[in-house]
Structure 1
Amino acid sequence: MRQWMVAAKKADFYVIAEKFHVDPVVARIIRNREVIGEKNIRIYLGGNLSDLSDPHQMKDMDRLVEILAQKIRKQVHIRIIGDYDVDGVTSSHLFLTALRRVGAKVDVVIPHRIQDGYGLSLHLLQQAKEDGVDTILTCDNGIAAIDEIAWAKAQKMTVLVTDHHAVPFEEHEGRRTEKKSLADAVVNPHQQDCGYPYKELCGAGVAWNVIRVLYENYDMDKREAEDLLDFVAMATVCDVMSLTGENRILVKEGLKRIRHTKNIGLQALMQACNVQPENISAYHFGYVLGPCVNATGRLDTARHALRLFETGQETEAEEIARDLVDLNQERKELTLQGVEMAKKLCEEGGYENDPVLVLFLPDVHESIAGLIAGRIREMYNRPVFVLTRGEEGVKGSGRSTENYSMYENMCGCAELFTKFGGHPMAAGLSLPEENVEKFRRKINENCPLTVEEVCPDIHIDMAMPVGYASTELVHQFALLEPFGKDNPSPLFADRNLSISRMWVIGKNRNVLRMSVLSEYGQPVPVIFFGDVETLFAYFTEKFGQKEVENALHGRKNRILFSMVYTAKIDFYQGNENLQLEMKYYR
């Protein structure tokens, strides 16, 4: 059972509200996001590019750009090696655009998820050597490729790494030592001795900072780098990075620019997804556009997505964009099938006491393992690994909960893997099939938390009567955007609510609308997108079938409940109406 936790942060909310011309509710939410002090509040509400840190503070930044500039002058062959997700594709596009702009002899390779695997593989380096490549420039990968980089250096190749993933380490007697490669330069803010103050950049964010310094080196107008922020914003949201600090600024500025983007591929993708540029938000990056880009890397090759952003032909862009949308639809269907298989395994596999779920689904397409893991995590509120049978052993992806560091705990099982890497919240791995059960046992034996402890609490911003919500208040929530990781949409709670009427809608009859009575007796519209059947079963068990039927027919009933909700504006026929979305109930 997830606990409802109402924030109890202290501050003079009325002083903050008056100082920044916001409602006291908004002031309280700002404090709940740990934004403290006038300067930080100003940046949170209205930060701009001038508030970003100096990219020269990143370890190896000046060295990497100096080497790049030398290679460009010598006109040697530079190869960008990216990744097959949104972050990897956009990072590759950014570097390709920038290096071409300054006259480099450059090409790009996006690994094939199944044939090449993640990141800087030996196969890709051997191919680069055969192709006469002098310099490898990675983006969104490379930090863990110790052996591969050693091979490249033995071949007299120059290797430049830009990455944002966790730095691998060895632990001896409680002390951690970073494992470092022989790369000529490594730019990654997670390195222990990196002086860059903000650590939460995605791969595209790191790449963009390299481009800032590179363009500065060529005395170029900084606005040329800033025009690339639409791709940085998309990658930041799609890679589920923390939407705090600098990432908030990057996403805000990127959203401004994508509304007027000159990139034909982005224009075509928005059109194919029926996204109006003037209305685009972080939500559209994460749940509409991003999944289409990711679908190519999952079911086909991410080179198609890169081609979409590179093409200058409208007809080609429109064709690729339609293909991406179709692939994403296929991906959705495969994911639903995989989720059902995973649920069945959870119910029948005897895993109810495992704080970490390790699910082996041999016949599932390996490219959707992470998506299935994410869905199962939401259902069971536990860290989840989904493993599938690949061409060379078992491959898998993990998705974690906020209080369990996935990558750190995997390091305790390192001897079972052929390859692994990731973040506190997500990871990827490969292992021999005979190690699957060993991994399940060991990751659970080593887990410092119980089943109850890994289950995340529901963090509520404040108890707020539904009658206090208004369209005027909701309009102010726009100041808090973009919403996402570490900066969620405001959550409120109210109790002792009664229902004047409820009714089921939707093609699949899976959406519930309710007219809920506030403490003053006024009706407030509420919508619920969760499991309607489970909600009805809960009400029936607590109040009886007759009371549920009374509510469904708009008759007086005895149902009383509490809910956690968000407040939104529903636009219908040109009118704005307040709508509360119920997230949880009891």
Structure 2
Amino acid sequence: MREKWVEAPRITGNEELARKFSVSPMAMRLIRSRAGMSEEEVREYLCGTIDELADPYLMKGMRDAVSLLQEKIRQGSRIRIIGDYDIDGVNATHILITALRRIGAAADTVIPDRLKDGYGVNEHLIQDAKDAGVDTIVTCDNGIAAAKEIAFAKELGMTVIVTDHHDIPYREEEDGSRTVILPPADVIINPKQEDCPYPFKKLCGAAVAWRLAEALYIEAGISREEFLDLAEFAAVATVGDIMDLTGENRILVKYGLRRLEQTKNPGYRALIAVNGLEGKKLTAYHIGFVIGPCINASGRLDTAKRALRLLSAESKAEAEELAGDLKALNDSRKDLTVKGTREAIELIEETDLKQDRVLVVYLPDCHESLAGIIAGRIRERYYKPCFVLTDAEDGVKGSGRSIPGYHMFDEMTKVRELFTKYGGHPMAAGLSLKSENVEPFRQAINENCRLTEEELTPRLSYDAVLPLCYAGEQIIRELELLEPFGKANEKPLFAAANLKVRSARIIGKNQNVLKAVLEGPDGTRLDTISFGDVQENLAYIEGKKDVCILYYPEINEYQGRRSVQLVVESWR
């Protein structure tokens, strides 16, 4: 599928600000397209520090949660943290257990088993906590959609504090208005509450837990430096949970990545080493595609308790053993994902599913933990919202991944009567339903779909036209100022036209890289690499008189030699 190329709006008036911040006008154009137009927005983007984050007490419920936890600690009450099995939940759980124990709490943790317990707090976990003498439950990265379950905890006389970041559930009334559905917890900390004055709403669950830890440390008189030791866990979770890398998230991730390079945590040190990243400058890419998947693999194929034990490891030997296990699990997860994706594509191509605007792919034998990853792969291939469903112990479970213009959570709410459980974001969701509702779900979600052909055509936005002769080390150094790259702060893409293909071949152990030499109109020649469907792209450019590309320039270091290399995102 050939994408529609769209040039980002041209931004003028960059010269003065460029001089003020000692960058080129081109770099300032890129920065302002991401940060905003004003000098203050540019300054925060380039120079924002961890000390500029909003006061944690601005978050609704923060003071009440701190007071309540202090009282429980004075009473000697047992506190249990219930987290989640993904990278966000594991890091959030580690942050909270570290903070609560540091201030003297009798606290322990439970992370639900993906297969046995499902997502988030449930009545079984609550009853277990009650039977164990637990007085207070603190959720992290879950709980906002657990009204029924938390009502059960309250019936048992338990205290519940919810810390979460997911969208607030609601009921759509006949007149089109929405009624918010909040759980009956003693305290709720979630910046997405309508009346929460905290200015930044896009924190992940671990970052919300981190701000609670900050308030607890402030009240306990613990040093800020000790609190900042926890920043790297919130930063890893922010990238791993694919949060917008803007505002406070950008500041936190920039800061956390630098601390992670010198981490004191034996678990992360071992995980960095086993993946061959020791001594390297860590980027958001390494979190999203190397370290993060190892943490997630634990909750997908085994138990997330293993990942939590890694973060809590005190000895180098224990950390190295656990890190090796997680890397092996992730390698296995990769193989299973390739197999599941292949099966999903065959099903779509061989049935009338391909005609649907929203793909609902039922793979009964797929490991349910891989449904979200496979849904993401299918969405990328077909550029359609996709749900992948699989058999589970108590019916059918699934995960969805969306495209811009399709609010997945809202669309699911319209057919909520088909689910036994659901939740999520505009771009991703999870669900449970009875097997007899699989086909009715597919039909209903498609009947309600209002996506147009234009919205179903992938769009690639590029920042500017940049001929090959300008794609040198100077612009590459300036592009580093825009890091960390990720959601809502994408790597810049440049366009170059009228290029001659001087050579092209497929390389790599898995034959998954297209390497080409391109020549610009002025004679500048540069190496390029591209990924994706390399066979199709090679066939597409062979024999063409001229090609155009969208690309990102980088430095390639090989056997001590440095050279400029272009990573091609799309060909024309």
CA separation in 2, counterparts of 1:443 and 1:155?
Answer: 38
User: Where does 1:234-273 land on structure 2 (aligned, <5 Å)?
Assistant: 234-273=236-275
Q: Deviations over 1:335-391 (max 9, x none)?
A: 000000010111112123322111011110101000100111111111110000111
CA separation in 2, counterparts of 1:508 and 1:98?
Answer: 45
Shift of 1:574: 2.8
1:196 aligns with 2:198: yes
Q: Deviations over 1:41-99 (max 9, x none)?
A: 01101110122111111111111111011111111000000000000000000001001
* 1:176 corresponds to: 178
User: Where does 1:120-159 land on structure 2 (aligned, <5 Å)?
Assistant: 120-159=121-160
Q: Deviations over 1:449-492 (max 9, x none)?
A: 13541344111111111221101110111110100000001101
- Could you say what secondary structure the match of 2:353 adopts? coil
CA separation in 1, counterparts of 2:407 and 2:301?
Answer: 29
* 1:276 corresponds to: 278
CA separation in 2, counterparts of 1:344 and 1:419?
Answer: 29
- Could you say what secondary structure the match of 1:254 adopts? helix
* 2:552 corresponds to: 566
Give RMSD over aligned pairs. 1.2
* 1:65 corresponds to: 66
Q: Which has the higher mean CA deviation after the structures are superposed, 15-24 or 133-142? A: 15-24
* 1:578 corresponds to: 564
Q: Deviations over 1:520-562 (max 9, x none)?
A: 012111111222210133235xxxxxx3xxxxxxxxxx53111
Shift of 1:507: 1.8
* 2:317 corresponds to: 315
TM-score by length of 2: 0.98
User: For 2:432, which of 430, 433, 446 is the aligned residue?
Assistant: 430
Shift of 1:503: 2.5
Q: Which has the higher mean CA deviation after the structures are superposed, 400-409 or 234-243? A: 400-409
Q: Deviations over 1:368-423 (max 9, x none)?
A: 00010011111111111000011100000001112211111111010000000011
User: Where does 1:311-350 land on structure 2 (aligned, <5 Å)?
Assistant: 311-350=313-352
CA separation in 2, counterparts of 1:501 and 1:358?
Answer: 41
TM-score by length of 1: 0.96
Report if aligned partners of 2:468, 2:524 keep a CA contact under 8 Å in 1.
Answer: no
CA separation in 1, counterparts of 2:497 and 2:365?
Answer: 46
CA separation in 2, counterparts of 1:61 and 1:510?
Answer: 49
* 1:553 corresponds to: none
CA separation in 1, counterparts of 2:385 and 2:35?
Answer: 26
CA separation in 1, counterparts of 2:538 and 2:214?
Answer: 55
Shift of 1:319: 0.6
CA separation in 1, counterparts of 2:457 and 2:110?
Answer: 40
- Could you say what secondary structure the match of 2:352 adopts? coil
CA separation in 2, counterparts of 1:373 and 1:470?
Answer: 37
- Could you say what secondary structure the match of 1:142 adopts? coil
CA separation in 2, counterparts of 1:489 and 1:523?
Answer: 23
* Amino acid in structure 1 at the alignment position of 2:15: Y
- Could you say what secondary structure the match of 2:568 adopts? strand
CA separation in 2, counterparts of 1:464 and 1:272?
Answer: 39
* Amino acid in structure 2 at the alignment position of 1:578: V
Q: Which has the higher mean CA deviation after the structures are superposed, 508-517 or 466-475? A: 508-517
Shift of 1:426: 0.7
* Amino acid in structure 2 at the alignment position of 1:360: Y
Report if aligned partners of 1:243, 1:485 keep a CA contact under 8 Å in 2.
Answer: yes
Report if aligned partners of 2:266, 2:315 keep a CA contact under 8 Å in 1.
Answer: yes
* 1:31 corresponds to: 32
CA separation in 2, counterparts of 1:344 and 1:451?
Answer: 24
* Amino acid in structure 1 at the alignment position of 2:547: F
CA separation in 2, counterparts of 1:434 and 1:357?
Answer: 18
* 2:3 corresponds to: 2
1:493 aligns with 2:509: no
CA separation in 1, counterparts of 2:388 and 2:457?
Answer: 18
Report if aligned partners of 1:386, 1:398 keep a CA contact under 8 Å in 2.
Answer: yes
Shift of 1:31: 2.1
Report if aligned partners of 2:504, 2:538 keep a CA contact under 8 Å in 1.
Answer: no
1:539 aligns with 2:541: yes
Gap regions ≥5 residues in structure 2: none
* 2:42 corresponds to: 41
* 1:90 corresponds to: 91
* 2:214 corresponds to: 212
CA 1:572–1:537 in structure 2 vs 1: closer, same or farther (change >3 Å)?
closer
Runs of 4+ deviating beyond 4 Å: none
Shift of 1:313: 1.6
CA separation in 2, counterparts of 1:345 and 1:450?
Answer: 24
User: For 2:446, which of 437, 444, 447 is the aligned residue?
Assistant: 444
1:374 aligns with 2:360: no
* Amino acid in structure 1 at the alignment position of 2:118: G
Shift of 1:190: 0.7
Shift of 1:262: 0.9
- Could you say what secondary structure the match of 1:453 adopts? coil
* Amino acid in structure 2 at the alignment position of 1:213: A
* 1:227 corresponds to: 229
User: For 2:397, which of 382, 395, 398 is the aligned residue?
Assistant: 395
Report if aligned partners of 2:297, 2:333 keep a CA contact under 8 Å in 1.
Answer: yes
CA separation in 1, counterparts of 2:74 and 2:389?
Answer: 46
CA separation in 1, counterparts of 2:434 and 2:148?
Answer: 19
CA separation in 1, counterparts of 2:325 and 2:516?
Answer: 39
Report if aligned partners of 2:555, 2:565 keep a CA contact under 8 Å in 1.
Answer: yes
- Could you say what secondary structure the match of 1:563 adopts? strand
CA separation in 1, counterparts of 2:362 and 2:68?
Answer: 45
* Amino acid in structure 2 at the alignment position of 1:433: S
Shift of 1:277: 4.3
Report if aligned partners of 1:401, 1:455 keep a CA contact under 8 Å in 2.
Answer: no
- Could you say what secondary structure the match of 1:4 adopts? strand
* Amino acid in structure 1 at the alignment position of 2:449: C
CA separation in 1, counterparts of 2:535 and 2:559?
Answer: 31
Q: Which has the higher mean CA deviation after the structures are superposed, 566-575 or 132-141? A: 566-575
Report if aligned partners of 1:140, 1:203 keep a CA contact under 8 Å in 2.
Answer: yes
Report if aligned partners of 1:402, 1:456 keep a CA contact under 8 Å in 2.
Answer: no
- Could you say what secondary structure the match of 2:500 adopts? strand
Report if aligned partners of 2:14, 2:28 keep a CA contact under 8 Å in 1.
Answer: yes
Q: Deviations over 1:185-213 (max 9, x none)?
A: 00001111111110110000000011111
Shift of 1:579: 0.6
* 1:21 corresponds to: 22
Report if aligned partners of 1:65, 1:214 keep a CA contact under 8 Å in 2.
Answer: yes
- Could you say what secondary structure the match of 1:279 adopts? coil
* 1:405 corresponds to: 407
Q: Which has the higher mean CA deviation after the structures are superposed, 234-243 or 512-521? A: 512-521
* 1:109 corresponds to: 110
Report if aligned partners of 1:86, 1:293 keep a CA contact under 8 Å in 2.
Answer: yes
Percent identity, aligned pairs only, is 50
CA separation in 2, counterparts of 1:465 and 1:425?
Answer: 35
* Amino acid in structure 1 at the alignment position of 2:63: D
Report if aligned partners of 1:417, 1:429 keep a CA contact under 8 Å in 2.
Answer: yes
CA separation in 2, counterparts of 1:215 and 1:345?
Answer: 53
* Amino acid in structure 2 at the alignment position of 1:568: E
Report if aligned partners of 1:81, 1:110 keep a CA contact under 8 Å in 2.
Answer: yes
Q: Which has the higher mean CA deviation after the structures are superposed, 387-396 or 272-281? A: 272-281
CA separation in 1, counterparts of 2:9 and 2:308?
Answer: 46
- Could you say what secondary structure the match of 2:406 adopts? coil
CA separation in 1, counterparts of 2:459 and 2:70?
Answer: 50
CA separation in 2, counterparts of 1:248 and 1:34?
Answer: 11
Report if aligned partners of 2:499, 2:520 keep a CA contact under 8 Å in 1.
Answer: yes
Q: Which has the higher mean CA deviation after the structures are superposed, 531-540 or 229-238? A: 531-540
* 1:11 corresponds to: 12
